Amino acid sequence: MTRLEHLNITVPDIDAALAFLTIIAPDFKVRKDVKSHTSHRWAHVGNEQCYFALQEPHLDSLSPSNAQKAYKNFGVNHIALVVESIEIIEENLVKEGYRRGILAPEEAYRKRAYFFDAAGFEWELTEYLSDNPDEMYLYE
């Protein structure tokens, strides 16, 4: 069975990325955080099944920018995670000042929420209320 093992994302601030991830994925732990004096900082954060490889800009990047516009330019539109207790996660994200993305329609067998992290990445958070694939995934 194919599964996602990790995503490698360049972020402007690893500490800000870790702060966001601890809210949306409380089971994620920092596996490794390398703060080198001679190279860029990087960190791996996740659980036993998957992780995010976060890194600061490098390779002679003098002034990185975020010119990507989701759903308009080539690139990542959003990153999706399956979560538990989505209402608590939403409450904590709002309390910490994270900006909401699009509003997802109400559905019988899943709850979804979209939020932007400090770097501008949009995250889709989904809590499934069924284990039946015919109910979980609506393609209407």
- The answer on pLDDT for 131 being more than 90 is yes
The per-residue pLDDT for 40 is 85
The sheet carrying 122-128 orders its strands as 79-82, 122-128, 110-116, 99-100
More confident: 3 or 58: 3
- The angle that helices 14-24 and 86-95 make with each other, rounded to 10 degrees, is 140
Give the H or E element holding residue 115.
strand 110-116
- The answer on pLDDT for 68 being more than 90 is no
Q: What percent of the chain has pLDDT over 90?
A: 66
Distance CA 37, CA 32 (A): 16
Whole-structure pTM value: 0.85
Burial class (CB in 10 A: 0-12, 13-18, 19+), 135: middle
- The answer on pLDDT for 104 being more than 70 is yes
**Alpha helices of the chain — where are they, by DSSP H?**
14-24, 86-95, 133-136
pLDDT digits 0-9 by tens, 22-64: 999 999 999 999 987 877 899 999 999 999 999 988 766 656 6
Domains annotated on the chain, with CATH: 6-58+77-136 (3.10.180.10)
